[in-house]
Amino acid sequence: MDGISVTRRGDSPLLRVGVTGRSAYGGGVRRTPEHLAAIASAAVPLLSARAVAAEPDDAADFDAALIQDGAGRTWRVRSPRHPEASLRLENELTVLRSFTPAVRADLPFELPTVAGTVRQGPLTTFVYSHLPGERLRIDDVRSRVLAPAVGRSLAAIHGLSPDLVEDAGLPSYTANEFRQRRLNELDQAAGTARIPTRLLRRWENALEDVSLWRFAPTVVHGDLHEDHVLVDGDRVTAVSGWTDLHIGDPADDFAWLVACNDQSFVDVVLEAYSMALPEPEDPHLMHRAALSAEFALAKWLVRGVTLDDADMIDEARQMLDELDHDVERTGGWELSTPPPAPASVDAGAGPGSPDAGVTSSDDASDDVSDDEVASARDGADVPDEGVTIDRRSGSQDAAERPARPTGATRISEPDAVTTRHPIIAHPGPEPDPAERPAMPAVPPSIVADDADRADDARDADAVDDAHRPSTTGRSTGATAVRHPEDFRR
């Protein structure tokens, strides 16, 4: 989220939360570990510091120290450097209070506990009970045994009930809202006119690829990285830094793994994560994680511009230029889905080949005899001289396939197994009117039928007249003209 600082990892210019050694908010005075020990003594009664040491943290936002008291207990002090950071710590306090004993018991790791606070003007310093373990170092080969535990821990976070976040009044985003938020941030970054065009186009293409953003929102830690994951042996003992908990894209919690030099570590993390969750695997999880890691550089630049911090701006621009060069040289991480591969087409069955639309299914081959197929083909004007058709596959040997005559019409599958009606028009070249046989106004069969009916009617009238008395106004032997329907009674 917003609590970011920059640390290089090898040759990668990607962002990782770490120590920069200076404040992003100019004018803040850095507190020494001894000063933090004095604040902790005021926050926790009876805490008497015997030893103190600096603690790595987001140096742009916080000063931190570890303190050991007379009883041998260890405490962690975290003091904000500006009001925004203080607000994040207060959000974390709300989050930790929402983790009930039942929720904590279900997690495979421990959570921080706030032991006391001290407010100094607009800033509040927090003292936490110390958590067991040491910080994870994913580039250390000895950390490979930890990959399954890291994957299961991520799954446990993302499997938390959304009610925990919503009841605490923390941010919640749908997939579309999250994508729109990123688009707005991209517009803000582009407005600085300090980001290489290639990167802007690259990020915009990823954000416009809607298939990437079809994910199920989950509870997200929001500030996950090595310094917030404590380990011991092959297990994760604790997770800290809960300042940015929200409901959103789970890929954000994987962004810190993009800069890992050991891809096998990442693969094992993803495998353990997928096995621990009941939901279907998200095929674009690491695409969005890579985008989040790259885009953090743009957010760092925007933050520097907002604070008018020349050093932060220069640092961000340098890393953006390095990332741009890396993308130009190697292509970088794949951020969007590749276009679908074109459907393979048999070289001998193209649009211009006679069998391009002629197929025969297994059922059709069982129900239609060879003679019927040949008769249908003749009726459909399908050239079959020298053509050998495999009824199972619908294919024919390219060497035996004759060329389609000029002007011939491509026939669809239904036409290939049925004869054409002599009157129904079919697509194709219009025949010459001179060659078309003349069609009588009335079909001959209908004329002959009506003539026979008329003869029968005259015979019937003659018989009737022989037994019927003469009628005034009607000539004997005359036959009235009647409609053919009258004789069908």
Q: Are 118 and 124 in contact (CB under 8 A)?
A: yes
Residue 71: give the domain boundaries: 33-330
Q: Are both 284 and 382 inside the same structural domain?
A: no
**Looking at the domain assignment, is residue 443 inside a domain?**
no
Q: Which two tokens stand for residue 290?
A: 């890579």
Q: Which two tokens stand for residue 266?
A: 């990442």
Q: Are both 216 and 348 inside the same structural domain?
A: no
Provide the number of structural domains found in the chain: 2
Q: Are both 198 and 326 inside the same structural domain?
A: yes
**Looking at the domain assignment, is residue 27 inside a domain?**
no
Torsion of CA 473, 478, 481, 484, to 10 degrees: 130
Q: Are both 62 and 195 inside the same structural domain?
A: yes
Instruction: Choose the final residue of a domain: 283, 299, 330.
Output: 330
**Looking at the domain assignment, is residue 439 inside a domain?**
no
CATH number at residue 59: 3.90.1200.10
- Listed in sequence order, the residues at least 6 apart from 86 whose beta carbon sits closer than 8 Å to its beta carbon are 80, 122, 123, 124
Spell 138-156 as b/e; 16+ CB within 10 A means b: beeeebeebbbbbbbbbbb
Q: Are both 163 and 130 inside the same structural domain?
A: yes
Query: How many angstroms separate the CA atoms of 2 and 60, rounded?
Result: 11
Q: Are both 275 and 348 inside the same structural domain?
A: no
The amino acid present at 59, given as its one-letter code, is A
Q: Are both 422 and 288 inside the same structural domain?
A: no
β-bridge mates for residue 84, sequence order: none
Phi, psi torsion values for 483, nearest 5 degrees: -75, 140
Q: Are 155 and 252 in contact (CB under 8 A)?
A: no
Q: Are both 325 and 349 inside the same structural domain?
A: no
Q: Are 300 and 13 in contact (CB under 8 A)?
A: no
Query: How many angstroms separate the CA atoms of 14 and 209, rounded?
Result: 22
Q: Are both 350 and 391 inside the same structural domain?
A: yes
- Listed in sequence order, the residues at least 6 apart from 173 whose beta carbon sits closer than 8 Å to its beta carbon are 181, 217, 246, 247, 248, 249
**Looking at the domain assignment, is residue 2 inside a domain?**
no
Phi, psi torsion values for 400, nearest 5 degrees: -90, -5
Q: Are both 321 and 366 inside the same structural domain?
A: no
Chain centroid offset of residue 148 CA: 25
Query: How many angstroms separate the CA atoms of 85 and 143, rounded?
Result: 31
Q: Are both 346 and 262 inside the same structural domain?
A: no
**Looking at the domain assignment, is residue 83 inside a domain?**
yes
Q: Are 272 and 280 in contact (CB under 8 A)?
A: no
Q: Tens-digit pLDDT profile for the chain (489 aa)?
A: 444 444 444 444 454 433 333 343 444 567 888 899 999 888 888 888 889 888 877 777 889 999 988 888 899 999 999 898 999 999 999 999 999 999 999 999 999 999 999 998 899 999 999 898 988 988 776 778 999 999 999 999 999 999 999 988 999 999 999 999 999 999 999 999 999 999 999 999 999 999 999 999 999 999 999 989 999 989 999 999 999 999 999 999 999 999 888 889 999 999 999 999 888 889 999 999 999 999 999 999 999 999 898 999 999 999 999 999 999 998 888 887 665 555 554 444 444 444 444 444 444 444 445 555 444 444 444 444 444 434 333 444 444 444 433 333 333 333 333 333 333 333 444 445 455 445 444 444 444 455 555 555 555 454 445 444 444 444 344 334 444 444 444
Q: Are both 227 and 298 inside the same structural domain?
A: yes
Provide the pairing of β-strand 134-135 with 229-232.
antiparallel
H-only helix segments in 380-434:
413-416
**Looking at the domain assignment, is residue 24 inside a domain?**
no
Which pTM was predicted? 0.64
